[in-house]
Chains A and B, each alone.
Chain A
């Protein structure tokens, strides 16, 4: 009798997930919910959750609700590999969206590819993530494009003639700067000097004193919001006059929280245009602010878009991995995202998109210009 009860319970437990599976589409998601990138990870999760809400309010995918299964990758490569195994083997998701940086995303990409699970990197910019992988896509802006657009904007919009580079010593910091270093001379900008700093540095005063002496028109500074906040604040304390040009790493409400007034006048290249006329962008910005009482950043928008792209592909092509991958690869001028339109995916699975440039006014990003030059924005 006991055995029978145990068997019955076991059968019930085993059948429950199957029953749930029948009428929902499971999409996996991972982001750094703890660790040094936690502010971004939390924001990405909010973006992805909002996307799922929108999709389900809109009737789900062909009548089936979308269920998001998410895990914390702790911004560690080894953790994101464990997450990948969990999502593939025990959760059996249809596709996975990464709301994480390059390192965890790059470590997980080959696993998803080998197991034929479509995978979208939303903010991981490393070029190797989608390279030669049929099931891996990248809607993040490739790093050097930030540099190219930054140089174009410095010359065309800010009329700068000279620049100093302040480079964060990691993949992201040096890759974005490569684009600027190559493109700046072509736009007549003289690069006076280049300084490096390690990730996590807090005191930029000694370098900024030197930069003040170099007296450039613009300071190209690569970094994440913590570094960016210290750079902006200490530059203002020391009376640096150059306009600071940053990238999407600055694009976080934490940047304003940590640096306050010193952020005004900072210019960044990113993917979320706050002044966008696209209905989805406006709906996203309004709803995000309504739910969280904080302005959405590019990380939230990117994760939101990753979910929508995955859902759209499943909607048009069904749940077979090959069909989903084909549907994503063939998307053209996709407007149904917050950072859109997504113009096209190239052979490697990397998206081409317009690059909005934002300037900080009253501690908020506002539109400055948009780069649509194919020479600059094609990966």
Chain B
């Protein structure tokens, strides 16, 4: 220990962050956190000043997802703290390790409705893994150390530490060793149950039509190699959840692509026809299963997840294993026999062929710009190597369908919470975490307008992200639902946008507009070549819909397929 003697609480915050390996925090100052900000200058930590606290959490989230490190957020009390809530909920749903530090009014006036006082630990209780109210300087280091341990351990998630102003101003000794966290160790997964492993192996051995459901847990656990070994050795194809994209390579011969509501028809058909599902680090979300009563009725199910409360929650399973995916697979693999399942794979290939002829990306350029083209071409032009942060809605699904992610941590998207406005701040965070990576932000015209003030953050911080705004003049996904399920009544979904090129100019960044596929490649090249952040507005078909689609509440095989290619080509619009 190098530092002894007394420190202020504010110094202890930064000392603790430094020792936890934190190099960057995302935040916004204010009254109750001022002592902490005042002490920050003495430490070698980069502070990224955001334009809204919600974006600070999304940036830290993107930073954490892109790098695997813990993202750190700093905000003041009251509105500063409440602005974090959406971001925390987003991180909680998608298991992102974050530590959010908020200032709080002095402990003497706690509970008196003092200026900028809110009960943020109460408010964030359901959207954090754990939270702390710290009222003494001596409690700062133990709380923060435990916060980091809790955020990272088990199923990761966000933790909030609310520190009163007098705790920041008070003094305490730094006793690092005494603050060693232990409580997060209370709930380690139980030791692997050998009989469960045996039963799993038995099911794998006897399966004729097995399928791996690959989820986010693969990345969080670092189990990519083990999952691939399992798939290759036992000749088992894999389908991916939205957050599982990139966990295993999309272009792997055994990769089927995304499952669920907007998964390809052959993927969902394979799930419905399978006789064994191996669910690895995923949680059978309703967007993945469709109608539960008709979900994969022929399949035995093996579910491996670190969170025991996910096992048997939505789908009853035959073998449930609560544990770290990587170590569980390592224990399982020696018993997995080499197999040849070419008959099963051949069948899936047939289904796949049927879908490909309907696929919009296989259409010749008919003068219309489809978002699917944009995604497909973006994938091609970036050699599939970019880190892509997407927002929520139609473009998010098109990106998931047409940008084939091979690398881990290359897709950053709000899956569970579905938070609009996520893409730009998350993309900025990802770029800060991995400056060497090419980062693309893909957002719709609606979501982009929620947080585009962060363009200025990118400029101020010298961060280069490339932005594709997919502008169809609608809140597209909601419009699609209105077209399909609400008889085309477009209530509140047409949305105007500013002139994005002028907007870019106002922020001092490169801006361009593309409305034909022919102009796409050149614009992408120009954006990539631009020194700083660059924005391309893609004016796409206004009333295009994402296909295939399993309507909410329908069974997985009851998909609305893509309309035949000729209809789109002739009318230039969706026949719905």
- Chain A bound to chain B: no
Instruction: Give B contacts to A, CB under 8 Å.
Output: none
Instruction: Give A contacts to B, CB under 8 Å.
Output: none
